[in-house]
Structure 1
Amino acid sequence: MKHLDISGSHYTIGHAMGELGREAFAKSILPSHDFQRLMPALHDGWLADIAERLRREFPAYVEELHGLADGMHQPFARVLLWNCRGDLSPTGPEGCTSVAVAGDDGAWLAHNEDGNPALRRDCFVLEARPDDAPAFTAFCYPGSLAGHTLGVNDAGFAYTVNNLRLTESRRGIPRMVTARALLACPDTESALRLLNRTRRCGGFHFMMADTRQCRPLSVEAPWQGLSAIPAMPCEVHANHLVHERFRDLPQRITDSSAARQRRLEEWHEAHRGPTTADALLSLLADRRHPTLPIHRLAPDDPDNENTLASVLFRVTSRGIWCQLRSGPDQPVYWERWLPPTP
């Protein structure tokens, strides 16, 4: 796993990310089927409409995208298109498994980030200090904005992200830009307000918690609306809508997502007593299912996804403890204690 530590403007941050991902974007992403099936959107006015919406509503992240494109020596439209992939094509290889647990002394968030195994060596941890927003840390894919996997900021807010394979979309703000905007939120309330007021193209699921209330939430955010359920005491989520309000919306549920959700719910039903880091890592490492496990390592995974990173967030009123690994059974790669800043 690579590491990038950068301060400055949104353009500067994007440019540094682009330089780091330049080779992987050119050699692994552009020739891929996942990129090629997005190409029609370059020519029918869809992308131009999205770009105009972004300039009006999220100009800072347009600057990051321009920096990303320049750092990778790629046209802006091509990079914007890649950052709209989940809105245009819901079947791409980015899965994930998330758990949130509430307790008397704080909250736990645990997450496996599952993605394209061809990009394993090119993903990186980003520690960024924007000029006009809280410093944050995120796990990043080459060619992509930060924020659509997992993130934590110095304001005392942490969240994880799960892909939703919605089979319908609309013109609006790409879900990856909305997720990037969450990295500037100080708490769950402001994050929910941002999601509520943003006209999204697609949708994500989030587990989130902050140091002000330490009450974790499971948040489904398809473009059709928003559902936020307190983790009382626990919520689990794979890659499809399960909240009562949205479970019947048009979506694609892969065999892996269904199997992981069932295993998570079994764990939820059996879970008793205080939650520990070891217990959560053991769940993230679960391989009980012979072909569709939570911890995904198979070269022939049916969704073309493997676990690329695992994170634990312990959110308390005193701060957030963060621990990131390249997998739940791997050594700690990055660990921090982040007291909330005013």
Structure 2
Amino acid sequence: MSTFQQFPFVSVNGRPYERGVQYGRAAVGRVRASAAMYGQTLHALGYSASARAALIGHFETMIGELDASYLEEMRGIADGADVPFADIVMINARTEVLAKARADKAEAEGEALLDGCTGALVLPERSATGNLLHAQNWDWRADCVETGIVLRVQRDDGPDFLTFVEAGGLARSGMNSAGVSITANYLESDRDFKQLGVPLAILRRKVLDQPVFANALKAVATTPKSCSNNIMLGMAEGFAIDFECTTNEAFPLYPGADNLIVHANHWVSPVARAKLVDTGCENSADSYYRDWRVHKLLNQHETISRDDLKQALFDDFGTPFSVCRPPREGVRHSITATVAMVVMEPALGEMDVAPMPALNRRFTRYRLKGDPVLLDAPSV
């Protein structure tokens, strides 16, 4: 079992632009790698410089309309890392930018939108500590193990937050000091890209900005989106909900009698399934057993600890099409894998993260307060 380099920890504070500059300087190599990765994909799709600028400019406008301070922060990241501002916008809208580019250049080759993932929420009633647990395996391009970071933002203009994110991005999986936690994973439907909305990465950041949980729910349920996505929300006080979202509608799923929510990459809500066509099955058929496997493994425990949750997410049933995916060739020739496992206990302000968990069992514990700590590898 290999041990991978742990994800760098970047802690910033101050006003939006100042935070961005600190972020860009601290993660300069990884920010540039993120920009190069997605820039090369757009180039492979045949986009000219002017077409790329127009595409990214559209999403810049939408981000600014939602919250202009996000653009200030992105300008700071760009200046700190000495990369073009448009590259930072591209990173924060990469799902939408790449998908629209493929739609506009349908004949070109590109990787599929398999931002796969298996997520789980454990209510306090089932948790060994009596605290809500929130976890996810993030499945995407294997080379993103070299671009991921853990970002902590300490500020006076909202709650502090901690997020695992691609370098240059404002947020991905994370939690804030108000006890709000979020993960998100790929869904696909026949409504996708019939309109253009707020980039999903920015929506996740909007959730982490909320000091009140009800406003986090509102942000997810009412913000227009370009494509489908599954968004799992936790509240440290003891509530969990999953929103299966399409571009203009959100379908809630609640914990079952076992006080768990587990979600992979297929639509579950009966209401959603009656109204939509799930168009993602071709690329994620394994989704139909991944959530079942995690449910089954978790329900072997009367109470569930963080280690129990990790063991369920390490599951290799059906490998390489498993809950924890080793690097393998994707549907369009890119190498995909479970890039990171993220396990959060928001009431304690702690997030355990392991890079490439199919090949590595070492976690680092990152904190809303205090320094990161490298943990011992759990038993197999």
Normalised by the shorter chain, which TM-score bucket? 0.7 to 0.9
Relative to 1, partners in 2 of residues 1:48 and 1:209: Cα closer, same or farther, differing over 3 Å?
Answer: same
The residue aligned with 2:269 is 243
Structure-2 separation of matches of 1:181 and 1:171: 18
- Counterpart of 2:326, as a letter, is L
Match 1:314 to one of 323, 345, 352 = 345
| 1:99–1:234 Cα contact (<8 Å) kept | yes
Runs (4+) of structure 1 exceeding 6 A deviation are none
Match 1:60 to one of 62, 69, 75 = 69
| 1:238–1:260 Cα contact (<8 Å) kept | yes
Structure-1 separation of matches of 2:63 and 2:243: 23
Structure-1 separation of matches of 2:231 and 2:346: 15
Q: CA deviation at 1:99?
A: 1.1
Q: CA deviation at 1:281?
A: 1.2
Question: Structure 2 stretches of 5 or more lacking a match?
Answer: 1-6, 100-111, 370-380
Relative to 1, partners in 2 of residues 1:26 and 1:226: Cα closer, same or farther, differing over 3 Å?
Answer: closer
Q: CA deviation at 1:256?
A: 6.3
- Counterpart of 1:151, as a letter, is G
Structure-1 separation of matches of 2:66 and 2:36: 32
Structure-2 separation of matches of 1:29 and 1:227: 31
Structure-2 separation of matches of 1:38 and 1:205: 30
The residue aligned with 1:24 is 33
- Counterpart of 1:159, as a letter, is I
Q: CA deviation at 1:93?
A: 4.9
- Counterpart of 2:303, as a letter, is P
Q: CA deviation at 1:162?
A: 1.1
Structure-2 separation of matches of 1:44 and 1:310: 34
Q: CA deviation at 1:136?
A: 0.8
Q: CA deviation at 1:113?
A: 1.7
Q: Which moved more, 1:76-85 or 1:216-225?
A: 76-85
- Counterpart of 1:331, as a letter, is R
1:262 aligns with 2:297: no
Q: Which moved more, 1:12-21 or 1:108-117?
A: 12-21
Q: Which moved more, 1:168-177 or 1:67-76?
A: 67-76
Q: Which moved more, 1:5-14 or 1:79-88?
A: 79-88
Three-state SS of the structure 2 residue aligned to 1:216 is: strand
Task: Calculate the TM-score normalised by the size of structure 2.
Answer: 0.77
Structure-1 separation of matches of 2:11 and 2:53: 38
Relative to 1, partners in 2 of residues 1:117 and 1:44: Cα closer, same or farther, differing over 3 Å?
Answer: closer
The residue aligned with 1:172 is 197
1:229 aligns with 2:235: no
1:142 aligns with 2:167: yes
The residue aligned with 1:285 is 314
Relative to 1, partners in 2 of residues 1:330 and 1:290: Cα closer, same or farther, differing over 3 Å?
Answer: closer
Q: Matches of residues 297-308 of structure 1 in structure 2 within 5 Å?
A: 297-302=326-331, 304-308=335-339
Question: Structure 1 stretches of 5 or more lacking a match?
Answer: none
Identity %: 22
CA RMSD of aligned residues (A): 2.9
| 1:38–1:89 Cα contact (<8 Å) kept | no
1:96 aligns with 2:117: yes
Structure-2 separation of matches of 1:38 and 1:193: 38
The residue aligned with 1:275 is 304
Relative to 1, partners in 2 of residues 1:337 and 1:144: Cα closer, same or farther, differing over 3 Å?
Answer: closer
Structure-1 separation of matches of 2:283 and 2:52: 34
Relative to 1, partners in 2 of residues 1:48 and 1:89: Cα closer, same or farther, differing over 3 Å?
Answer: closer
| 2:242–2:252 Cα contact (<8 Å) kept | yes
The residue aligned with 2:45 is 37
Three-state SS of the structure 1 residue aligned to 2:271 is: coil
- Counterpart of 2:117, as a letter, is C
Three-state SS of the structure 2 residue aligned to 1:275 is: coil
Structure-2 separation of matches of 1:107 and 1:153: 14
Relative to 1, partners in 2 of residues 1:144 and 1:38: Cα closer, same or farther, differing over 3 Å?
Answer: farther
Relative to 1, partners in 2 of residues 1:60 and 1:298: Cα closer, same or farther, differing over 3 Å?
Answer: same
Structure-2 separation of matches of 1:18 and 1:63: 13
1:77 aligns with 2:86: yes
Q: Which moved more, 1:160-169 or 1:110-119?
A: 160-169
Structure-2 separation of matches of 1:251 and 1:174: 21
The residue aligned with 1:296 is 325
Relative to 1, partners in 2 of residues 1:59 and 1:166: Cα closer, same or farther, differing over 3 Å?
Answer: farther
The residue aligned with 1:116 is 141
Q: CA deviation at 1:306?
A: 1.3
Q: Which moved more, 1:12-21 or 1:245-254?
A: 245-254
Structure-2 separation of matches of 1:88 and 1:27: 14
Q: CA deviation at 1:219?
A: 1.6
Q: CA deviation at 1:102?
A: 2.2
- Counterpart of 2:250, as a letter, is L
